[in-house]
């Protein structure tokens, strides 16, 4: 039985316990493996619902022309693209991801669409964001927080770079609130999603990890409390698709 000191030296990687120092590299391997098919898999896994969840996030952001937005763990840039339309020619959007392969996917998609103005790309760790204090009007992280090793450190880093009056939006898989839906969701997640990953990406193990990481992520109330503990104010959440996904919102006053 591990003692308390040993426990502090490990963290979960899906359902496994791994040394804290190894998790970042393991998560990096997962996303490097699936980067080229990431968007296709999102559409297949969610039956296209992820687009509606992201649209709701944008609508809740309150972003206006001229503002500066940070999209953390932004991957292929779905949210960043939508924010560019909101901030207009006088605003700016910075797309970050800790994974170089995912960030490159986002950059290439923007270039393919001829989008070059008012957007920047920064490879960055959410726990140690390389930006000045009180810099951004809005921060978003969609389906990325559960992969962060130290979620509290990441949230504190986000709080630091957010302007007073700004808001953080965390879109993440959560806990279904209907018992029957929970059972169906478990069956689908553990029996179908890894097989889709094997068929589409030739990588069943990465999608097995992704399913397990969802189950290890804090539920709605736990994440709400964690955001409060990291100094965010007026924290609340909206359950989407019966709680399969939740959008948490917090402010810095």
Q: Enumerate residues 6+ apart whose C-beta is below 8 A from 242.
A: 176, 177, 178, 181
The whole-number pLDDT of residue 44 equals: 83
Residue 240 has pLDDT above 50, yes or no: yes
Fold of the CATH domain 4-251: Rossmann fold (3.40.50)
| pLDDT for 98 beyond 60 | yes
How confident is the model at residue 8, as a pLDDT? 60
* pLDDT tens-digit readout, 224-239: 999 999 999 999 999 9
**C-alpha distances in Å from residue 195, one per residue of 6, 13, 121, 201:** 34, 20, 33, 10
- Of the chain, the percentage scoring pLDDT greater than 70 comes to 94
pLDDT of residue 237: 98
pLDDT in tens, 14-52: 777 878 877 877 776 766 767 667 777 778 888 889 999
* 60-85 pLDDT per residue, tens: 999 999 999 999 999 889 999 999 99
CA–CA dist 100, 105 (Å, integer): 9
pLDDT per position as a tens digit, 156-193? 999 999 999 999 999 999 999 988 898 999 999 989 98
The pLDDT of residue 45: 84
**Predicted local distance difference test score (pLDDT) of residue 162:** 98
- The token pair at 116 is 């070059």
**Site of tokens 């960030």:** 103
Note the pLDDT tens digit of each residue in 109-133. Answer: 999 999 999 999 999 999 999 999 9
pLDDT value at position 5? 38
> Is 242 strand, coil or helix?
helix
- Identify whether the C-beta of residue 61 lies closer than 8 Å to the C-beta of residue 169: yes
E runs forming strands in the chain: 10-13, 16-19, 68-72, 92-97, 119-123, 136-142, 162-173, 233-240, 245-251
């Amino acid at each position: 039985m591990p003692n308390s000191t040993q426990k502090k030296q490990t963290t979960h990687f899906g359902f496994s316990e791994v040394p804290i120092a190894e998790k970042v590299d393991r998560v990096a391997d997962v996303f490097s493996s699936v980067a080229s098919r990431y968007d296709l898999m999102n559409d297949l896994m969610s039956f296209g619902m992820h687009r509606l969840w992201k649209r709701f996030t944008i609508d809740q952001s309150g972003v206006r022309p001229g503002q500066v937005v940070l999209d953390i763990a932004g991957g292929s840039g779905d949210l960043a693209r939508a924010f560019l339309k909101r901030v207009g020619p006088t605003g700016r959007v910075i797309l970050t991801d800790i994974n170089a392969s995912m960030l490159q996917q986002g950059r290439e998609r923007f270039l393919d669409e001829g989008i070059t103005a008012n957007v920047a790309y920064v490879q960055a760790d959410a726990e140690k964001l390389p930006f000045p204090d009180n810099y951004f009007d809005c921060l978003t992280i969609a389906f990325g927080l559960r992969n962060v090793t130290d979620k509290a450190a990441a949230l504190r880093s986000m709080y630091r770079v957010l302007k007073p009056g700004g808001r953080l939006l965390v879109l993440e898989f959560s806990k279904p609130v209907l018992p029957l839906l929970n059972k169906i969701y478990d069956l689908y997640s553990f029996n179908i999603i890894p097989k889709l990953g094997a068929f589409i990406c030739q990588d069943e193990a990465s999608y097995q990890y992704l399913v397990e990481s969802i189950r290890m992520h804090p539920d709605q109330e736990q994440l709400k409390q964690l955001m409060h503990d990291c100094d965010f104010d007026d924290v609340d959440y909206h359950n989407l698709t019966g709680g399969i996904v939740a959008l948490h919102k917090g402010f810095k006053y």
